[in-house]
Amino acid sequence: MIKLLKQFNWLLSLLFGVAVFLFFAFYYQYHLHYQEQLQLFLFTPYYWSDLMSRPGGLADYLGTFFTQFYYYSWSGALIISILLVLLQLGIKKLCNVWADRSLIILPFTFVPSIIIWGILCDENYLLSALIAVLLPLGAALLHLKIKSPVFRIIYIFLALPLLYWLSGGVFWIFGLLCILSEWLYFKQLTKFQWGILFVIVIGCILLPPYVASIFIQYPLRRLWWGISYHRYPVVSPYPLLALWSSIIIIPLLFAFIKGKISRVKNVTFLSTSGIIMVSLFAFFMVKNLADWQKEEIMAYDYYIRTQDWQKIIRMANHKDPNTPLSVTCLNLALSKDGSMGNSMFRYYQNGPEGLLPTFQRDFTSPLMSGEVYYHLGFLNTSMRYAFEAMEALPDYKKSSRAMLRIAEINLLNGEYKVAEKYLKILQHTLFYSKQAEQMLECLGNEQKINANPQWSLLKKYRMKDDFLFSENEKDQMLGLLFVNNQSNKMAFEYLIAYTLLTKDLDHFVQYFPLGKNLGYKEIPAHYQEALLFYWINTGHDVSSLPWSIDPAVVQNYINFAKALASGANVNALSGGFSQTYWYYLQFAGGDPLNYSQNPIY
């Protein structure tokens, strides 16, 4: 075992990198897509100079540069795995220099990488937090290559302020690592040189944030912590303290006990035990810090963005969506798939909020809600949501997804100058430049615009006259949209779905005939259930139904009414009727509908 580990100690790094890659590429990939859409990396001198004009600029620049590759989850996973392995190799190098090359130490060099792995499971921690750590660590390893004590002191004096501007608040790690390297490894400095070194390190750690506060308008507290490690600038990223501390503590700990390690005889047992311990630490760290509910919502968001409706429906079939935003995505997918009227109540419904969510001033929900308004034909509302989401980003990095949508809607509205402004910005991106070029070719060219089937349809559906969109009267807004173009089947289905979800059967029956020319071969199942319920509960007989209701639907309702009259509770009825509209009427979507009826059985 010892011989095997000595020959292949690099194998642990490889296996770790593979584990990280598999996790982010196949189990946590939607967090990567989520992060990619909430930034806008531009290949322009201005973008470079803007980021480099504040502390941590290089880490921020490299972080946003690499984050754009999250466009493909596999490339994002590969980048993260490589960076985490580089961090581990850097810690291993320090341990080898300060302590020993013992195999007992090797497993514990993964601890800092595991900590940041867990931290990156939070979508608000940015890749720049990892890159910012690698910069001072790399500079500290370079310090080990300098033979002359005088040159090393000069190097530290020059590197500390520079690292503050390149990596941000984590730069102090470099100073501590250099002091420890001088003490534990070089052991060459005189007392006078030690005095100079301490003055330089303390001064160069304390002064840069104060000097920076004179020239840039950031609170001193933010300049100490670092500006670009977390999406929310006002948040102090305390979990990063665990990462920063581990980079110092792990090598230092083994430097203190290197004498005991060198005398250990049972290296095989201890190194194997270390591997098991660190593996368990990694498992529980990631298990507890990964947010699988958010991952599910981000998956719905990704597929609604890419318009993969079947994938959304398959996800819902695998696990019933139970959050407002996931239900919103599912309902849109059902409508685009043409199965909304037949399948909507086979899934969990949380009322009208799952159809058209109320606007919230954040940078996530408006993007998802805006997709619904976009496909309905409320183009200006969708554009407003995209703009509000982009402006709500707390780190002010703009959003590639939102900017593309704003440009697209201005193109469809004929606002070519506005569309051109956004498209010329997107030309400087890596993954959106091709779409921007294609849209630029469509400016002023109605023939090219109409050649796109989706654009052509949306131009027909969109509201062409000014009107005041009311969040509190969404049924009226849907009605106006449908009246604007009565071939808009999706607007009709959303109008009908809104009345069903609000249990407003009077308006449902009033609006239902509006869909007679929309190509339905038969009345959708949930419409039949609602029509039958309304007819019976307004004092009419089944035999006089004015609509073509399937006999199986009638019989199923008779069975439901019998069970309900006999006192069956929600659990007893869920087995046979949970996928019917009647079950929703009685047990879901708020208070049950108050009705009285004569027995029909």
Is residue 599 pLDDT above 50, yes or no? no
Query: 418 falls in which pLDDT band (50, 70, 90)?
Result: very high
Kindly state the average pLDDT of the residues 64-76. Answer: 97
Which residues, including other chains, have CB under 8 Å from residue 473's CB and lie 6 or more apart? none
pLDDT (average), residues 237-247: 95
Work out the percent of the chain whose per-residue pLDDT is above 90: 74
Average pLDDT over residues 80-85: 98
List of long-range contacts for 378-386, beta carbons under 8 Å, 24+ apart: 378/462, 378/463, 378/469, 378/477, 378/481, 379/409, 379/412, 379/413, 379/458, 379/462, 379/463, 380/409, 380/413, 380/462, 380/463, 380/469, 381/469, 382/409, 383/409, 383/410, 385/359
560 closest CA partner among 585, 540, 590: 585
Q: What does the pLDDT read at residue 6?
A: 56
Contact 251, 116 (CB under 8 A): no
State the pLDDT at residue 594: 52
Q: Considering only 218-227, 495-504, 583-592, which range has the smallest mean pLDDT? A: 583-592
For residue 577, the model assigns a pLDDT of 85
For the stretch 105-118, pLDDT in tens is 889 999 999 999 99
Predicted local distance difference test score (pLDDT) of residue 268: 80
DSSP code string of 147-164: --HHHHHHHHHHHHHHHH
Q: Is the dihedral of CA 223, 229, 233, 238 positive or negative?
A: negative
- What integer pLDDT is reported at residue 45 of this predicted model? 96
Name which of 468, 297, 444 is nearest 380 in CA terms: 468
Q: What's residue 234's pLDDT?
A: 85
The token duo for 544 is 């006089």
At 2 the pLDDT is 53
Q: How far is CA 519 from the centre of its chain?
A: 38
pLDDT of residue 578: 84
pTM (predicted TM-score)? 0.92
Q: Token pair for residue 134?
A: 């690698």
CB-CB neighbours of 307 under 10 Å = 14
Tell me if 87 sits within 8 A of 134, measured CB to CB. yes
Three-class secondary structure assignment of 364-433: CHHHHHHHHHHHHCCHHHHHHHHHHHHHCCCCCCCCHHHHHHHHHHHHHCCCHHHHHHHHHHHCCCCCCH
Average pLDDT over residues 362-389: 94
What's the confidence (pLDDT) of residue 542?
82
Coil vs helix vs strand at 187: coil
- Could you read off the pLDDT of 267-320 as tens digits, one per residue? 888 888 899 999 999 999 999 999 999 999 999 999 999 999 999 999 999 999
What is the identity of the amino acid at 554?
V
Q: Which helix H or strand E contains 347, and what residues bound it?
A: none
Of residues 566 and 516, more confidently modeled:
516
Give the pLDDT band of residue 592 (cuts 50, 70, 90).
low
Nearest to 80 by CA among 112, 133, 138, 32: 32
Q: What is the pLDDT of residue 219?
A: 87
Where residue 600 falls among pLDDT bands split at 50, 70, 90? very low
Percent over 70 (pLDDT), the chain: 97
- pLDDT of 596 > 70? The answer is no
* Averaged confidence pLDDT in the chain: 91
Q: Stretch 143-170: mean pLDDT, rounded?
A: 95
Q: Is 373 exposed, middle or buried (0-12, 13-18, 19+ CB in 10 A)?
A: buried
Give pLDDT tens digits for 455-512. Answer: 999 999 998 877 777 778 888 999 999 999 999 999 999 999 999 999 999 999 999 9
CA angle in degrees (0–180, nearest 5) for 332-338-308: 50
Q: Check if the beta carbon of residue 100 is closer than 8 Å to that of residue 135.
A: no
- Identify the band that residue 591 occupies on the pLDDT scale cut at 50, 70 and 90: low
- For residue 418, CA distances in Å to 350, 406, 433, 452, 456 come to 38, 9, 17, 20, 20
Helix, strand, or coil (residue 325): helix
Q: Looking only at Cα atoms, what is the longest distance across the chain?
A: 106
What's the mean pLDDT in 390-399?
93
Q: Which of 333, 356, 353 is nearest to 343 (CA)?
A: 333
**Residue 1 in this model has a pLDDT that exceeds 80:** no
* Cα gap 180→176, rounded to integer Å: 6
Number of residues assigned to the chain: 601
Q: How many CB atoms lie within 10 A of CB 578?
A: 16
Q: Tokens 């049972």: give the residue.
A: 266
Q: Which residues of 409-448 are buried (b: 16+ CB within 10 A; e: fewer)?
A: bbbbbeebebbbebbebbbbbeebeebbeebbebbeeeee
User: Residue with structure tokens 């330089």?
Assistant: 200
Please report the sign of the dihedral spanned by the C-alpha atoms of residue 332, residue 334, residue 339, residue 345.
negative
Q: What is the pLDDT of residue 598?
A: 43
pLDDT at position 597 is 44
Query: What radius of gyration, in Å, describes the C-alpha atoms of the chain?
Result: 31
Ordered DSSP codes for 460-489: HHS--S-----TT-HHHHHHHHHHH-TT-H
Whether residue 233 has pLDDT greater than 90: no
